[in-house]
Amino acid sequence: MAVEKCINDFDLNEVIFEEGSTGRELFVVLDGQVDIARINGASKTVIVTLGKGEFFGEMAVIDGSSRSATAISAAPNTRVMRINHARFVYLVSQQPAFALMIMDALSKRLRRSNDVTFKAANP
């Protein structure tokens, strides 16, 4: 697949994917910003804002589960590259540094989530 076919452009506040949807792709931010948010009716809680070089959607590409949050472009001219499941598996198997990078990011995100959960439970 040509790289150009894996790149998508989004305007400000465009939904890249929705919580609960299925998807077997990981996304890398090439330009702009992406909000990862939980939406409950009219209420939107931004979990994290990601910028150039950061990635999202890794949980669904790893375990095949539905998306745990909604990804929304947070800047005009946001560009992301999609990495499908087959390419992800290839990269992990051929590039140990890529696999370590994914594991490192997952670990940091889990620690941050644990800290937020602990602080909320123990004000």
* pLDDT tens digits, 47-73: 999 999 999 999 999 999 999 999 999
Tokens representing 75 are 């800047």
100: amino acid identity, one letter: L
On whether the CB atoms of residues 42 and 106 are closer than 8 A, the answer is no
Is the pLDDT at 1 greater than 50? The verdict is no
Percentage above 90 pLDDT, the chain: 78
Residues 6+ apart with CB under 8 A from 55: 26, 27, 28, 29, 102, 105
pLDDT of residue 112: 85
The rounded distance, in Å, linking the Cα atoms of 88 and 73 is: 23
CA 81 from chain centre, in angstroms, equals 11
Domain 3-84 has CATH 3.40.50.920: no
Decide: helix, strand or coil at residue 114: helix
- Overall residue count recorded for the chain in this entry: 123
Q: pLDDT of 107-122, one tens digit each?
A: 998 898 888 777 777 8
pLDDT of residue 3: 56
The domain locations on the chain are 3-84
